[in-house]
Amino acid sequence: MLLSLFALLNSCGSLPSFARNQSIPYDCFAPGDVYNDTDGNLIQAHGGQISQYTYQENGETVTKYVWIGEDRKNGYYAEVNAYSSTDLYNWDFEGTILKRVPSMEAIDEDSYFNSLYSSLTLREREDLLKAIGPTSVIERPKLLYNAKNDNYVLWFHQDGYSSVNDYYRYGTGNAAVAVSDSIFGPYRFIASHRLNYVTDGFNANPNSLGEARDMNLFLDDDNQAYIVYTSENNKSLFISRLNEDYTDLAVPASLAKEGEDFTRIFPNAMREAPVLTKYDGRYYLMSSSTTGWMSNSARVYSSDTIFGKYVNDGNPCVGNGKMVTFDTQSTSIFKYGEQYIYLGDRWDSQDLRDSRYVFLPITFEDAKMQIRYYSKWNLKGERI
Ligand code: DGJ
């Protein structure tokens, strides 16, 4: 026992944060610590997603973890970055996979944007600039591989000033989609739209149907994909089925039926930052409350079926810091073998670029998700 604690302190626990850089490969998770990529630059993948993919790299088939997320090096106006890793500790920067279009001229004059968007009409170019232009909001990007089309589909929360709301940065409330044949892009924006809604009189925001803000994706065992999002002015969570291409709703919002094509979970509960995962056949939907960039208490809803009756399992966090999710907000849950891992953002609203990442192991006890805090831990099961 003493020996293994000593080994852990030597390999990980005794390293001061400034030593955890490119010259010494990481061999553990240190929640909230400075986290550099293998070039020694601060990892920029906030509000992100980690998942394992098999893809072609230099003519070879490789299986790696891929982390995509918001590049906040310019503060508010994010683009989407990608990183890859074989061990989940050390991450290679793979580039900016979704870039915002700087101007109308760039579509003609910049070869990067010209190759993606030259065929668009003037109207479509205007829509493109509204969606991913200089002042658009791009948040919480999430990625799926689509086996039917052998391509990659990137969804994100797309927002910005709307024609009726020119003072509020989140006046649009859309979900947007971009596609690429290669996992590391470039991704071509194709659409930004509202999603499913209810009109039964209980809609918390009936004048703005189908809003989508914080969002996530979920791929079920049968390859059916779903988009999970907060709607109704951040008051109600929805899960909607996507089409076979994963690029749109399975059924247009005007025709979609609650319970068949989508579900609305705990209306008015004011939850955001949704992450859906499945353990032992049961669906677990983790979310935060809605307090801007400030941490708050997480909650898990669970159900035996994806559109079924979700029950409130309460706060999954255990121990000191549980009331503020260990000063994080949920963004991704992924698996390393049989180990489920939580990834949360520790936002710094004054300097979004320096927002930190918190990786923590998840356990399931009596069919309830639980997250405990460790200041250092590794995938060999050592935790302090
Ligand atoms: C909380 C959300 O979860 C973030 O993605 C971001 O939209 C902030 N709110 C903005 O205040």
CA trace torsion 119, 121, 127, 133 (10° rounding): 50
Mutate to test the pocket of ligand 1, among 329, 332, 348 (most ligand atoms within 8 A of CB): 329
What percentage of the chain has pLDDT greater than the value 90?
A: 88
Where residue 127 falls among pLDDT bands split at 50, 70, 90?
Answer: very high
* Predicted model pTM: 0.94
Q: pLDDT at residue 372 above 60?
A: yes
Question: Measured from the CA of 349, which atom of ligand 1 is nearest?
Answer: 11
Provide the 10 A C-beta neighbour count for residue 360: 21
Where residue 200 falls among pLDDT bands split at 50, 70, 90?
Answer: confident
Rg of the chain on CA atoms, in Å: 20
Which own/partner pairs from 19-28 qualify as long-range (CB within 8 Å, at least 24 positions apart)? 25/89, 25/90, 26/89, 26/90, 27/89, 27/378, 28/89, 28/376, 28/377, 28/378, 28/382
Q: pLDDT at residue 76 above 70?
A: yes
Burial of 150 (0-12, 13-18, 19+ CB in 10 A): exposed
Q: How far is the CA of 352 from the centre of ligand 1 (A)?
A: 11
Query: What is the pLDDT averaged over residues 317-345?
Result: 98
For 81-109, the pLDDT digits (tens) are 999 999 999 999 999 999 999 999 999 99
Question: Measured from the CA of 272, which atom of ligand 1 is nearest?
Answer: 3
What pLDDT sits at residue 29? 96
For 269-293, the pLDDT digits (tens) are 999 999 999 999 999 999 999 999 9
Q: How far is the CA of 213 from the centre of ligand 1 (A)?
A: 9
* Contact status, residue 32 vs residue 96, Cβ threshold 8 Å: no
Q: Measured between alpha carbons, how far is 118 from 109 in angstroms, rounded to an integer?
A: 10
Residue 345: name the closest of 295, 285, 276, 274 by CA: 295
Q: How far is the CA of 164 from the centre of ligand 1 (A)?
A: 21
Q: How far is the CA of 380 from the centre of ligand 1 (A)?
A: 34
* Contact status, residue 183 vs residue 82, Cβ threshold 8 Å: yes
Query: What is the pLDDT averaged over residues 14-42?
Result: 78
Question: Measured from the CA of 140, which atom of ligand 1 is nearest?
Answer: 5
Q: How far is the CA of 293 from the centre of ligand 1 (A)?
A: 6
Pocket of ligand 1 (CB under 6 A): 47, 139-140, 214, 272-273, 292-293, 329
Sequence-separated (6 or more) residues with CB below 8 Å from residue 357: 31, 32, 35, 43, 45, 46, 343, 344, 345, 346
What pLDDT sits at residue 14? 46
Q: How far is the CA of 13 from the centre of ligand 1 (A)?
A: 32
Question: Measured from the CA of 139, which atom of ligand 1 is nearest?
Answer: 5
Q: Which CATH number is 5-100+136-372 given? A: 2.115.10.20
Where residue 166 falls among pLDDT bands split at 50, 70, 90?
Answer: low
What pLDDT sits at residue 165? 62
Q: How far is the CA of 365 from the centre of ligand 1 (A)?
A: 30
Q: Which residues of 322-342 are buried (b: 16+ CB within 10 A; e: fewer)?
A: bebbbbbbbbbbbeeeeebbb
Sequence-separated (6 or more) residues with CB below 8 Å from residue 352: 46, 72, 75, 76
Where residue 3 falls among pLDDT bands split at 50, 70, 90?
Answer: very low
- Smallest CA separation from ligand 1 atom 11, residue: 292
Question: Measured from the CA of 290, which atom of ligand 1 is nearest?
Answer: 1
What pLDDT sits at residue 202? 77
Q: How far is the CA of 1 from the centre of ligand 1 (A)?
A: 43
Phi, psi for 353 (deg, rounded to 5)? -60, -35
Q: What is the mean pLDDT of the chain?
A: 93
Mutate to test the pocket of ligand 1, among 235, 293, 355 (most ligand atoms within 8 A of CB): 293
Q: pLDDT at residue 13 above 60?
A: no
Alpha helices, H only, 209-307: none
Q: How far is the CA of 292 from the centre of ligand 1 (A)?
A: 5
Where residue 252 falls among pLDDT bands split at 50, 70, 90?
Answer: very high
Where residue 168 falls among pLDDT bands split at 50, 70, 90?
Answer: confident
- Smallest CA separation from ligand 1 atom 8, residue: 292
Phi, psi for 335 (deg, rounded to 5)? -115, 140
Domain positions in the chain: 5-100+136-372
* Contact status, residue 33 vs residue 89, Cβ threshold 8 Å: no
Mutate to test the pocket of ligand 1, among 272, 328, 345 (most ligand atoms within 8 A of CB): 272
SS3 content of the chain, % helix, strand, coil (to 5): 10, 40, 45
What pLDDT sits at residue 142? 98
Beta pairing partners, 60: 57
What pLDDT sits at residue 24? 77
Where residue 169 falls among pLDDT bands split at 50, 70, 90?
Answer: confident
